[in-house]
A and B are shown apart, each in its own frame.
Chain A
Amino acid sequence: MHKYERAGLQKDDLLYMYRTMLTARKIDERLWLLNRAGKIPFVISCQGHEAMQVGAGMALERGKDYLLPYYRDLAMVVHFGMTIEDIMMSNFAKEQDISSGGRQMPGHYGSKKLGIVTGSSPVTTQVVHAAGYALAGKMEGKDFVCLTSFGEGSSNQGDFHEAANFAGVHRLPVIFFCENNHYAISTPLDRQLSCVNVSDRAKGYGMHGETIDGNDPIAVYAAVKAAVERGRNGEGPSLIEAVSYRLTPHSSDDNESTYREADEVTEAKGRDSITTFAQYLKELGFFTDEDEQAMHDEIQAAIDEATDAAEAAKYASPESALLHVYDQ
């Protein structure tokens, strides 16, 4: 029995998984080009996180469970229903940006209809909101779970600990999903934590904790799937730490050569899930080189179209800046 079968996945699931990961990667690459061409002011990247994001997202039930993501979760929100055009509108800050109508920087995802809860820039605030959503669900007798994600740096914020403790005490169905990419901007892991794993912290809050390979989307899917079940069964929260590597600088404004060696990045690229998972699919016989090329071309065409549409789209009217401070 293959590991994907043990995780309860089928061939189509795996092909969807890869397509979603690849879509996010290719959008991300386009965003960098647009930034370097001077067309969009800012990029914050998901590269290196695609496998864990799609794996975790697929363990949830869209339309029922809630996502409280952080700024790197491009692949996760694409899985949850944001289209390529949605992402482009947001990056060009156009009126049709579904997250904020062009008010927030890109990467601040939110859409009520998609079950993606709006986020901000001070990190880790959303982790507490996840406990709030879960509490509300528990009070209402619902069986949805909330997945909130954050970086390993954010696991030092007070809000992480307050939320984890709150959810632990009240047995709330929250999945604390830590995307450990080894860097908080420039500060490496050993300057962020003195424990070995972020998941070691779970014990202090009376919840299940585990660390998994973030480049393996199936492993991540399986771990989060189990956490979802625990949550639905009233067994409270889980802390799942997926470990990968940030393949780009922190943002389009960051120069990573000031704090890490190029070799280190090159080595990490050898474990890039976009390559390794494609290889895995080919080994399983689910995917050929031709399939891969066709998938690339198809996604690229969609991205080109969405880019043009977003570039040509209109901004919200300047006076609309005054709207929606309060209920009107």
Chain B
Amino acid sequence: MMGTMNFLQAINLALKEEMHRDEKVFILGEDVGRRGGVFLATEGLYEEFGDRVLDTPLTESAIAGVGIGAAMYGMRPVAEMQFADFMLPAVNQIVSEAAKIRYRSNNDFHVPMTIRAPYGGGVHGALYHSQSLEAMFNSIPGLKVVIPSSPYDAKGLLKAAIRDEDPVLFFEHKRAYRLLKGDVPEDDYVIPIGKANVVREGDDVTVITYGLCTHFAQQAATALEKEDISTHVLDLRTVYPMDREAIVEAAKKTGKVLLVTDDNKEGSVLSEVAAIIAEECLFDLDSPVQRLAAPDVPAMPYASPLEKYYLVTKDKVESAIRDLAQF
């Protein structure tokens, strides 16, 4: 069975299927119950699963910390942070606790928990409803950070995250929720965490990206076909820990690498990709590695022209690919 659905519906379906499959799975977060989440990611689940969809007080550190406790006990909590921007109060629980519990207990305890959080901008969310915070968690061994780029991936990766034995941060681009539509099988499938995905083969320029930017890269690649520019696109899918092998292979494929993120440029997760390429691909490069990212300002402004200026778009990706192709 296959149905066309948007990104949000794919998330909802994955949650529903996993809750049916495993009664240890439960959801906790702000407004996730009757309201179905502010983006409706958990719509209908409270009606179906009752108290397994738990409305919490406004209390991000406790959402993470209660999830950690329950996970250590043996449950599989799926915590929702209403916006990635609001998870900073929970960072101590995520970094000091979730990430380190297996290691510090010498494998006695572990935390099979998923934390979902909408990230990214382009929805007039301004500074505190638009941030990309993945880089903050990109050097925390013990954590996994997954960012899907399509409805199909969203379902398969979320199911994998829920079944994972370690804590997974699952970032969902809020603009992707209703923008991205695609075929999503109604049957049970998982996409392995830690593996990147070649979404398009090409031999002039390699784009390495993740999340919604994968969509822009594919659009740009299609447009550039008319100019005889052939673009290879690698979607990281998991930004931590990174799939080194796939990155090296994709970089060597064309020798010209463009890294695209909607986070700001300095120290983004792609800086690590650039470092991997620097370590492994010296003799295969045909151009300097390039990064396309948001400007290095604190966060996204509210006013439309400013927001548009800040955003990575299909046109910006296209222009950067063209530029590199001509190098």
Residues of A near any B CB (own CB < 8 A): 66, 68, 97-101, 103-104, 108, 110-112, 117-118, 120-122, 125, 128-137, 139-140, 158-159, 162-163, 165-166, 169-170, 323-327
Contact = CB atoms under 8 A, between A and B. Distances in A.
A158 B97 CA distance: 15
A325 B142 contact: yes
Max chain B CB contacts within 10 Å: which of A110, A129, A137? A129
Contact of A99 (B62, B97, B105, B141): B105
A169 B144 CA distance: 31
Given A162-B61, A162-B62, A166-B59, A118 B108 contact: yes
Contacts of B26: 139
B35 interface: no
Nearest to A131: B66
Contact of A136 (B51, B59, B75, B164): B75
Interface stretch (B88-96, B205-213, B267-275, B296-304): B88-96
A130 B106 contact: no
Contacts of A111: 108
Contacts of A108: 104
The 5 closest A-B pairs by CB, nearest first: A132-B69, A128-B65, A129-B69, A101-B106, A162-B62
A66 B70 CA distance: 12
B109 interface: yes
A29 to B, nearest CB: 27
Q: Chain B CB within 10 Å — which of A99, A121, A326 has the most?
A: A326
B125 interface: no
B52 interface: yes
B44 interface: no
Contacts of B70: 132-133, 135-136, 139
Nearest to B100: A120
Contacts of A159: 61-62, 65, 92-93
B97 A125 contact: yes
A135 B69 contact: yes
A170 B75 CA distance: 17
12 contacts: A110-B105, A118-B108, A125-B92, A125-B97, A132-B72, A133-B69, A133-B70, A135-B54, A159-B65, A163-B62, A165-B59, A324-B106
Contacts of B104: 100, 103-104, 108, 110, 118, 120
A118 B69 CA distance: 10
The residue in A97, A122, A166 that gathers the most chain B C-beta atoms within 10 A of its C-beta is A166
Contacts of A117: 69, 72, 109
Contacts of B326: none
Contacts of A162: 57, 59, 61-62, 65
A131 B65 contact: yes
B108 A112 contact: yes
Nearest to B71: A132
Interface string B91-117: 011001100111111111110000000
Contact of B69 (A112, A130, A140): A130
Contacts of B66: 128-129, 131-132, 135, 163, 166
Contacts of A103: 103-104, 106
Nearest to B75: A136
Contacts of B197: none
A139 B52 contact: yes
Nearest to A117: B72
A132 B68 contact: yes
Contacts of B77: 132
A163 B65 contact: yes
B62 A131 contact: yes
A136 B69 CA distance: 8
B67 interface: yes
A252 B54 CA distance: 44
Interface in B26-61: 26, 51-52, 54, 56-57, 59, 61
B262 interface: no
B97 A133 contact: no
Q: Which of A99, A135, A158, A163 has the most CB of B within 10 A?
A: A135
Contact of B96 (A68, A97, A122, A326): A122
A134 B104 CA distance: 22
Contacts of A120: 96-97, 100, 104
B178 to A, nearest CB: 32
Q: Which of A98, A132, A158 has the most CB of B within 10 A?
A: A132
B165 interface: yes
Contacts of A134: 69
A325 B141 CA distance: 7
B101 A118 contact: yes
A324 B97 contact: no
B295 interface: no
A68 B68 CA distance: 13
Interface in B276-327: none
Nearest to B102: A324
A166 B72 contact: no
A100 B107 CA distance: 8
A166 B102 contact: no
B101 A324 contact: no
B73 interface: yes
Given A66-B73, A132-B67, A327-B164, 18 more contacts: A101-B106, A112-B108, A118-B108, A120-B104, A125-B65, A125-B93, A129-B68, A131-B66, A135-B66, A135-B70, A139-B70, A158-B61, A159-B61, A159-B65, A325-B103, A326-B142, A326-B165, A327-B110
